Amino acid sequence: MHGKVKVWLANDDRGFLGPGALKLLKLTDEKMSLKAACTEMRLSYSKGWKIISNIEREMDCAILTRQQGGRYGGGCSLTDAGRELTRKYEELSERVNEITKELYKKVFGES
């Protein structure tokens, strides 16, 4: 047994980037489609856009490139800022959980 926490980035106590939003960003980049990412996560497309728009508003930068559909289809991928954000979030989350595991051992003892 060990301690584990979910990390959220927040402004004014309003979380805007957590594990679910991170998964959405990574899937969108992997599939090059927000719609495909939303489908896989069983999330409505409009909810997916709300999540993305909220992150971009809070970070004050674009995190997805957008290519509108048409003859050859559209797509989305992470911008450099989006890649950096996901990398830093993952690093923060890993480090927080390492510290949490150590703190758990101090509080509850070795198990």
How confident is the model over 17-63, as pLDDT tens digits?
999 999 999 999 999 999 999 999 999 999 999 999 999 999 999 99
Residue 71, pLDDT > 80, answer no
- Under a CB-based contact definition with an 8 Å cutoff, are residues 55 and 17 in contact? yes
- Under a CB-based contact definition with an 8 Å cutoff, are residues 93 and 7 in contact? yes
Residues 6+ apart with CB under 8 A from 68: 74
pLDDT range class, residue 10, cuts 50, 70, 90? very high
pLDDT of residue 103: 94
Q: Which burial class, exposed, middle or buried, applies to 37 when counting CB atoms under 10 A from its CB (0-12, 13-18, 19+)?
A: buried
Domain residue limits, the chain: 22-100
pLDDT of residue 43: 97
Does the domain at residues 22-100 carry the CATH identifier 1.10.10.10?
yes
Using a pLDDT cut of 90, give the percent of the chain over it.
81
Q: Which of 1-10, 67-76, 100-109 has the lowest mean pLDDT?
A: 67-76
